[in-house]
Amino acid sequence: MPQTLTIPTFTLENGTTLREVPVTYQAWGTLNAAGTNAVVVCHALTGDTDVADWWGALLGADCALDPTEDFVVCLNVPGSPYGSISPTTTNPVTGMRYGADFPAFTVRDTVRLHRCALTQLGVRRVRCAVGGSMGGMQVLEWAFETTDDGAPFVQALAPIAVGGRHTAWQIGWSEAQRQAIYADAKWQGGAYAPDDPPREGLAAARMMAMVSYRSQPSFDARFGRDVMTDQDDTPYAAESYLRYQGDKLTGRFDAHCYVALTKQMDTHDVARGRGAYEAVLRSIEQPALVVGIDSDVLYPLSEQRELAVHLPRATLEVLEVPHGHDAFLIERAALNRRIATWRRTALSVPA
């Protein structure tokens, strides 16, 4: 079950200082006495901390995430509506929801906040950080966290279906989705009533996202030109699928959270403030398993190849499947094999 801890104070990159900051997490396994056997799993945009639900094939004895050896922990991203500080949580200063006043987090802020949470949990070192998409952005930022003596805090990295920075292509997709939310009359500049949110705008944003998460061959094979004759307006199957996905998200997610998280993703750039992009990648000394998907149109394989070229100790694995970006959530057994093999053969796992 999710648990929540509180960080007394936390200052964002933009200088905003927050108080009583909640961070929700779930963990499997036991942290060893030295605090050195943690494995951090970083969730994607609309994901939550329940790794057993969305990545269950990777979690278990002899799996990529092994609770008999690892203290597996997944921390909820700030901005998400699943427990950590977000537009839906209460600002302790005002006693009201943050709402439109929610401050802008960067991916770097997220990792720094999660570092505070891990410290509170007693974690002194992380064996590996692993995550896909937005989670992969966090994985790459974890590369720059250090211990008091300057050693890497995270010993190994597994970024999946992501590049080293958000490109204009990805920023464009994010902005188009945000504009769909803004166009909903109920958005009201983000100051909407919690019981009357801009559901239609959020649903439209999700439908756009779902197109980018798949591929043309995937859509064609799954839907073709089939028509849903059991529905009143007989939509094409592809239309019906997108409508369903949009409606489904509005039942579990918040529009302002979606805006905040997509803006956070747009800040992703490991080189920001650190130097030239390629040189910054070359400075990452940890072993890395870079996983790409050959049909990914949102974070194309060229971006993972770029990471593998410049990260000095990288191994590149490619999932050759038609599902597009979402393959990292679909091809779980294949992903488990690749990560587990890499951890056994390429990494030394201290006791």
pLDDT score recorded for residue 233: 87
Residue 249: its H or E element: helix 237-250
Dump strand ranges (E) for the chain. 3-11, 17-28, 38-42, 71-75, 90-91, 96-97, 126-132, 157-160, 288-293, 314-319
Nearest to 199 by CA among 243, 234, 230: 243
Give pLDDT tens digits for 4-38: 999 999 999 999 999 999 999 999 999 999 999 99
- Is the predicted pLDDT of residue 185 greater than 70, yes or no? yes
Active site residue 325: yes
| Angle, CA 47 vertex, CA 43 and CA 50 arms, to 5° | 80
Residue 160 identity: I
Nearest to 10 by CA among 103, 83, 89, 94: 103
- Check 48, 70, 109, 296 and give the catalytic one: 296
Active site residue 66: no
Counting Cα atoms < 13 Å in the Cβ hemisphere of 171 gives 8
Beta-bridge partner residues of 126: 38, 154
pLDDT score recorded for residue 316: 98
Give pLDDT tens digits for 202-245: 999 999 999 999 999 999 999 999 999 988 888 999 999 999 99
Farthest CA pair distance, the chain: 66
CA distance 64 to 255: 34
Two tokens, residue 213: 């998460």
Give pLDDT tens digits for 284-330: 999 999 999 999 999 999 999 999 999 999 999 999 999 999 999 99
pLDDT score recorded for residue 348: 59
pLDDT score recorded for residue 350: 47
- Check 80, 84, 86, 133 and give the catalytic one: 133
pLDDT score recorded for residue 347: 72
Nearest to 237 by CA among 223, 218, 217, 216: 223
CATH of domain 3-166+269-345: 3.40.50.1820
Q: Could you give the residue range(s) of every CATH 1.10.1740.110 domain in the chain?
A: 170-264
CA distance 179 to 326: 23
- Is the predicted pLDDT of residue 351 greater than 70, yes or no? no
Q: Could you give the residue range(s) of every CATH 3.40.50.1820 domain in the chain?
A: 3-166+269-345
- Is the predicted pLDDT of residue 148 greater than 80, yes or no? yes
Active site residue 268: no
- Check 109, 323, 325, 326 and give the catalytic one: 325
Confidence of residue 346 (pLDDT cuts 50, 70, 90): confident
The DSSP call for residue 274 is T
CA distance 166 to 172: 10
pTM for this structure? 0.96
pLDDT score recorded for residue 234: 83
| Sign of the CA dihedral running 88, 89, 90, 91 | negative
Q: Angle, to 10 degrees, between the axis of helix 255-266 and the axis of helix 168-182? A: 160
Two tokens, residue 51: 């790794």
pLDDT score recorded for residue 174: 98
CA distance 142 to 113: 11
- Is the predicted pLDDT of residue 76 greater than 80, yes or no? yes
CA distance 263 to 205: 14
Q: Identify whether the C-beta of residue 175 lies closer than 8 Å to the C-beta of residue 182.
A: no
Give pLDDT tens digits for 245-296: 999 999 999 999 999 999 999 999 999 999 999 999 999 999 999 999 999 9
pLDDT score recorded for residue 22: 98
Exposed (0-12), middle (13-18) or buried (19+): which is 197, by Cβ within 10 Å? buried
pLDDT score recorded for residue 45: 98
Mean pLDDT of the chain: 96
Q: What topology is assigned to 170-264 in CATH?
A: Rna Polymerase Sigma Factor; Chain: A (1.10.1740)
